Structure 1
Amino acid sequence: MRHNQLTASPSVDSRPPSVPADTVPSYRTDLDGLRGLAIVLVACFHIWFGRVSGGVDVFLTLSGYFFVGSLLRHVIVSQDDRASLWHTVNPTKRLTRLARRLLPALVAILMVISLGTLLIFPQTRWVSTGKEVIASLFYYQNWHLAFNSQDYTAASSANSPLQHLWSMSVQGQFFVITMLTALAFAGAIKVLVRAGVKQLADPTVIRVVVFLAILGVAAVSFYWAHMRMEVNQQFNYYDTISRAWEPLAGGLLAIWMPKWRVSNFIRSLVAIVALGMIITCGWWIVGVEQYPGPWALVPVLSTLAIIWAGATGLQHGPKTDQPLVNQGLSTRQMVWLGSISYALYLWHWPLLIFYLTWRDKNHASIVEGTVLIAVSIAMAWLTKRYIEEPLRAPRSVSIHKENPPHKGSPTRHHHAAHAAPVSPWRARMLNYSTVVTTMLVVGAIVMTGGFKAWDYHVAHMTVDTTNLDPRVYPGARALLDNAPVPHVDPQPSPLQVVKDLPATSFNGHISDFKDDGVHVGVYGDPLATKTIALAGGSHAEMWITALDILGKQNHFKIKTYLKMGCPLSTELVPKQAGVPYPQCHDWVEKVVPQIIADKPDAVFTNSTRPRDYEPGDWVPDDYLPIFDQFGAAGIPVLGMRDTSWPHNGDGTINTPDCLSNNDVDECSTSRASSFAPTNPTLDIVKDHPNVLPLDLTAGMCNETQCPAVVGNIIVYHDIHHLSATFVRSLIPELQRQMQAALPWT
């Protein structure tokens, strides 16, 4: 039977020759139509609504229904004495068929995305996109997105042209793991049957064992998906373990489809409700926040309901027609949409992202979206017609027209009965498929090799701006001292600035998200008697560039106590990019006593941060107990006002990407949206006299804007961290303020 899924459109009848025809379910064109409906929902919701439709969950459920059903039939049939053990467990033929169905269209679209990346995207995005191309090609894109979704140093993948391919990776992983498990299970049963345990060859026994095993795995997966929503939903959304229950739910129905007779009125009612749920759930379920948890049962169970409603040919008693809903899904138009669903899914998202990037827009209009869907459908049809179908044909097809059996020969009737005549078109297609296969293989090699070479180039690129001429690159002095600014290109370049990091990032003196250790680094003058403890997260870390130089000049030592995304706070469950980050609280509980025990002469840390949902900045209440602990130990706190986190009305600004694509003015941030009229730290010094406010806002912002480039130096090296080059330009003002607070600095 055909695998009626998003990722495949194989031949109508792919049952092994030994499988009796009456044991194979009849081909369901209504499920082709359901795929067509699902891909339309996915495309429309992506293009116009920016929401998750539930269409992918429909695809996953259908995939499990057909794939598990096919494997179950193989397990049952392989117990025939005529089937050898090697034939039972050999995955080669199935893996080859799976590769022919999945890879050609995928490789073709990855080649187009690679070309589009080079032509449309700035160089600053080539590395991240190249990593996603390779991850998609080797079916781990979901894990790549999952791990990067919580990596604060990674560019956001929200506008990646490959983000949608996470579901292809989930399906590919599911197919391979399920296939290998099923073949191993079939082989084990065969060995036991040959050893004398004949009862295991009973199809009913096999179905019961498989049903219970899949039910158990699906239950664990469902529990995992529900539990992980509160732990890390960003990761959970892409997690194969969390998603496995959806295709397995389809597999359970394939193993045991209810066959009792039910009136078509009830079947129609069930199908109508299920169809309505699938069409509307994208509006009333926030899928990004709720899937693949319990709310994903809505599209999954609705899909199972439509499969069951249309299975009238399997119910006991006289045959009846399918319900009207299933008949509607079986129309020629819906079936045709289903036939191109895989290619359409591949095409619609990158076309949307490239178009929006080219036009510098965040949303497509009704007309633009309609054109994008039309172009996507056309490209999907061309892909199916000229790439998928030719390469999906079995290599073993013989060209009978060139070698016809002689009239009256004993093999004539055999060929007539068992071999479809091969047209001249099919004969030419054998050569055509070879050419296309070669082009795709070469393209995949060039594509991956090119991105790997670029990744190597960027990884080994060095940034040395320590000797910039201050008359040409005044940086912060342009705002602080009205220094003249010549017309030259900014430094570092947008591509180089992403490597312009503080020394602690290269020296391992900052703990990452999963590292609970305290990695103390020593900077400035290591022999000095005075010590400043630089403590907190990355927004404290970025000041080490200036403090290291000042320490060497003024003979004080800097010891670093740093952890990614972890300001000094007593918050019990802090969050990083919306994800609970309990390791931060544990680290703070450990590091503050250690700092106090080390007896520094001052602590340098952030005293403010931007407000999350309104303009301006503030001193969070959970910072104050930390300041009090240092005060009780007699340690002054140099409280640095946090910097602007670049953003505009459309969301976060990644400064290097923005500068690569736009004029510098388009990459600035409104000062009023980032900062309160006065430094909020000033409001706490009365009750916390050990806090000594520092504020360098005047070196980064004018009266109304916080530019992306100040004094010919790019201010940020990513979405909200200052470049080391710009920090160096702030040294004179930082020194002035520190010495006013602590003269020995």
Structure 2
Amino acid sequence: MTLSPARPRHSAARTRARVPMRLDIQGLRALAVVLVVVYHLWPWRLSGGYVGVDVFFVISGFLITSHLVREAQATGGVRLGAFWARRARRLLPASLVVLGATLAAVWAWVPRALWEPFTREVIASAAYVENWVLASKAVDYLAADDAPSPVQHYWSLAAEEQFYLVWPLIVVAALVAARAGRGRFAPRRAIAAAVLAVTVASFVASVAWTAASPAQAYFITPTRAWEFGVGALLAFASAARAPGWVRAAAAWTGLAAIVAAAVAFDAPTPFPGSWALVPVLGTALVLWADGDAVRGTPGRLWRNRAVRATGELSYSIYLWHWVAIVIVPYAIGREMVAIDKLALLGGVAAASYLTWRWVESPVRRMPALAEAPARRTFAAVVVGMVLVIGPAAWMAVTVERDVAASLAESERLAAAAAIAGDPAAVRDDEDVAGDDAAVDELPADEPVEEPVCLGAATVDPEGACAPTLPEDQVVPLPAAAKADSPEDCLGKKGSRDFDLCEFGVPREEATETVALIGDSHAYHWLPALEALAERNGWHGIVMARASCPFVAEDRNLEERIISTCATFNERVSAELAEREDVTVVVMAALAKTRFAAPEGADAWGFAVDAHATAIEGLPDHVTDVYVMRDSPRPREDNVECVERELGSRSADGAGRACGTPRDVSVEDDALAAAAQAGDRAAVVDLTDLYCDADTCVPVVGNVLVYADQGHLTRTWVNSTVPQLERLMPAFSART
């Protein structure tokens, strides 16, 4: 995180070498890293501990700008290459070592189902763009549903490195402007003016962006730059002439503000907008007070040996702690309990000391780099990045190869099962069952010679068949689960585009048209509707968007999602009204969707009424409406659990081991309740395919049901086609 610069070697900047280490800065570092670690281990104890990152940012802005201003005053300029080389020697060696160790831990303990996302983020972290990767995914860092990456915390290091890259350029630009002014602007004032302008602009952007898209605003550099800028402005504000009692009061007030934010803030707190002023200005007050030698300040606290040691090791602690928190549960095969977390703290402390002792300090002062031209440091950095990115890419490619093979096998088996279960395939001719032309349609090199029974067909209430795959085989492989979930035409969350795709037979040749509408939990049924449309000569359109159930009421999400969903659903309604060929509508929504109910209103009743209004508002030419009851909610790590259990169990046994209680998994579904309460829509409920009386499982008939924490695999959805055709009679009745 935020660390002091390397000791300079060139004579022009000797002033920097004589600047003593401030104990208050070490103390702030210690406080910041403790807040972050406690928050990550015990978030319910310190719900706002994430503000420790903001403390680090302010310290960085102060230190780096102070050094740059001193160099500019002493030499009349800034040696950019030397500056960046010092930063690289200080921060990158430990960072790359931890990334390398993380890759080794992933290879040893993490299920292959997570290799691709984890290695992708390792690569992004090595290139210091992890914050933009997370922002592009619009991940809620404080409460993400996806399995957290062991290098997710590198987003803040990426933001800091980007600051180090750009900030000296701003200083240089200010110096150039001062010279161009022919004495009208002193260099120090020019730099201060540039820093102030950037800080104000970034703060305004932060407030606006946080209001519109907090998930993205949390990560990106433009919304965080003002925090560095506040620290930078302190380089121009000395407290030396202020009375001691004023400085003491400022230091204690700042410290109290940081702690108050850590205690009072939580995940819903809009951040890093205006609320970030609390920890940022708190840190600025402590730094401004400069109270190491001032009576009445927290100086005695800063001088404590444990505090000083924690501050010295803060960067390594930050690097190691999150990696350990994510990896240890995979290594021990269970969630951590209190004793595990305490042991983890000891391990992190040991690893941090060793990293500081043998990596951070030696490389920073290594004569072969520190006394050589900057290009040698840059070359060493490139080599280090390649040594991390190369193995990460190899791991990703290895998994991609396995995924491709698994998806091909799943497609082959699903096609064979579809032919075996299609009455049309054996309609008239006795020799159709052995028809080579039908078999040749399979997407595999070798045809399936025996009937294939898998997935939902093995638990079909109207005639289950015996599974034909080996008892230890699961399709797709857990590593391929995510790739087996259709997303080709799913509208992107927050987009203002209108996404409409078509499937089935051409519209002019079709007997009927079906529309699939709703959110991503509607969209994952598309493969089954495609099969039904093609089997029965129907045309289809799909209008679905992530996080946008088909209702007029707003969800309790960020403003950007609310407005774009409203616009999208208006377009869906207009399209349905215009398309009179659409006679059947299939809709679904995430069961746990929450809406922005008026204050005092019953949230459940509001949601049911919202869906009922949407159903009743469908055009009159839509004669049949089918509501897919949402699938049971699996355990969050269901895919990884299945992979882990397959090592010692059958596919069915792995499913049972990774199952969840039915009364927990089968959630109340407001859309299904609305359909049941009215007479316009029929509910299609496949719950009994996933669940028996007590347990819901993620593997049924050798098929992996879920692609992630709730979306279904294409293979599973395809296996439900026979049941869906019976439960949605409009398809066969109009063929």
What's the TM-score bracket when you normalise by the shorter of the two chains? 0.7 to 0.9
Partner amino acid for 2:254? A
Cα distance in structure 2, aligned partners of 1:73 and 1:473: 72
Cα distance in structure 2, aligned partners of 1:240 and 1:438: 23
Residue 289 of structure 1 is aligned with which of 259, 266, 269? 269
Cα distance in structure 1, aligned partners of 2:696 and 2:144: 21
How far off its partner does 1:162 sit?
0.8
**Deviation by residue 1:234-284 (Cα, 9 ceiling, x = unmatched):** 222112122111111111111122332303x44334333433443453222
What SS does the corresponding residue of 1:378 show, helix, strand or coil? helix
2:540 corresponds to which residue?
Answer: 558
Deviates more, 1:341-350 or 1:605-614: 605-614
Cα distance in structure 2, aligned partners of 1:233 and 1:159: 19
Cα distance in structure 2, aligned partners of 1:677 and 1:376: 42
Cα distance in structure 1, aligned partners of 2:242 and 2:455: 83
| Matching of residues 450-529 of structure 1 within 5 Å | 450-451=394-395, 453-454=397-398, 457=401, 460=404, 462-463=407-408, 464=411, 465=413, 466-468=415-417, 472-480=453-461, 481-485=463-467, 487-502=471-486, 505-506=487-488, 508=489, 513-514=494-495, 516-524=497-505, 527-529=509-511
How far off its partner does 1:22 sit?
10
Partner amino acid for 1:69? S
Cα distance in structure 1, aligned partners of 2:510 and 2:382: 66
How far off its partner does 1:520 sit?
2.9
- Structure of higher CA gyration radius: 1
Partner amino acid for 2:390? V
**Deviation by residue 1:26-73 (Cα, 9 ceiling, x = unmatched):** 431332232123222322232233644222221111111111111122
Contact 1:33 1:336 in 2 (8 A): no
Cα distance in structure 1, aligned partners of 2:351 and 2:184: 52
1:325 corresponds to which residue?
Answer: 298
What SS does the corresponding residue of 2:87 show, helix, strand or coil? helix
What SS does the corresponding residue of 2:298 show, helix, strand or coil? helix
| Matching of residues 69-88 of structure 1 within 5 Å | 69-79=66-76, 88=77
1:446 corresponds to which residue?
Answer: 390
Which runs of 5 or more residues in structure 1 are unaligned? 1-5, 80-87, 313-319, 400-432
Partner amino acid for 1:223? V
How far off its partner does 1:324 sit?
4.7
C-alpha distance 686-397 of structure 1, shift in aligned 2 (>3 A):
closer
Contact 2:661 2:694 in 1 (8 A): yes
Partner amino acid for 1:41? L
TM-score by length of 2: 0.82
Contact 1:609 1:641 in 2 (8 A): no
C-alpha distance 251-242 of structure 1, shift in aligned 2 (>3 A):
same
The size of the alignment, in residue pairs, is: 671
What SS does the corresponding residue of 2:150 show, helix, strand or coil? coil
What SS does the corresponding residue of 2:416 show, helix, strand or coil? coil
**Deviation by residue 1:500-522 (Cα, 9 ceiling, x = unmatched):** 234xx34x475664252233313
1:27 corresponds to which residue?
Answer: 21
How far off its partner does 1:325 sit?
1.2
The share of aligned pairs that are identical, in percent, is 26
TM-score by length of 1: 0.81
How far off its partner does 1:472 sit?
4.6
| Matching of residues 237-636 of structure 1 within 5 Å | 237-263=218-244, 265-286=245-266, 289-311=269-291, 321=294, 323-365=296-338, 367-393=339-365, 395=367, 440=384, 443-451=387-395, 453-454=397-398, 457=401, 460=404, 462-463=407-408, 464=411, 465=413, 466-468=415-417, 472-480=453-461, 481-485=463-467, 487-502=471-486, 505-506=487-488, 508=489, 513-514=494-495, 516-524=497-505, 527-572=509-554, 575=557, 580-606=561-587, 609-612=590-593, 620-631=608-619, 633-636=620-623
What SS does the corresponding residue of 1:49 show, helix, strand or coil? coil
1:691 corresponds to which residue?
Answer: 681
**Deviation by residue 1:421-457 (Cα, 9 ceiling, x = unmatched):** xxxxxxxxxxxx9999898466325334424534653
How far off its partner does 1:594 sit?
1.5
1:198 aligns with 2:183: yes
Cα distance in structure 1, aligned partners of 2:93 and 2:366: 14
C-alpha distance 644-210 of structure 1, shift in aligned 2 (>3 A):
same
Residue 60 of structure 2 is aligned with which of 63, 66, 80? 63
How far off its partner does 1:146 sit?
1.7
1:137 corresponds to which residue?
Answer: 126
How far off its partner does 1:598 sit?
1.6
Cα distance in structure 2, aligned partners of 1:619 and 1:740: 28
How far off its partner does 1:206 sit?
2.9
2:642 corresponds to which residue?
Answer: 659
C-alpha distance 729-571 of structure 1, shift in aligned 2 (>3 A):
same
Cα distance in structure 1, aligned partners of 2:218 and 2:492: 26
What SS does the corresponding residue of 1:602 show, helix, strand or coil? strand
Partner amino acid for 1:727? V
Cα distance in structure 2, aligned partners of 1:15 and 1:253: 26
Cα distance in structure 1, aligned partners of 2:490 and 2:251: 60
* RMSD between superposed Cα atoms in Å: 3.6
How far off its partner does 1:100 sit?
0.8
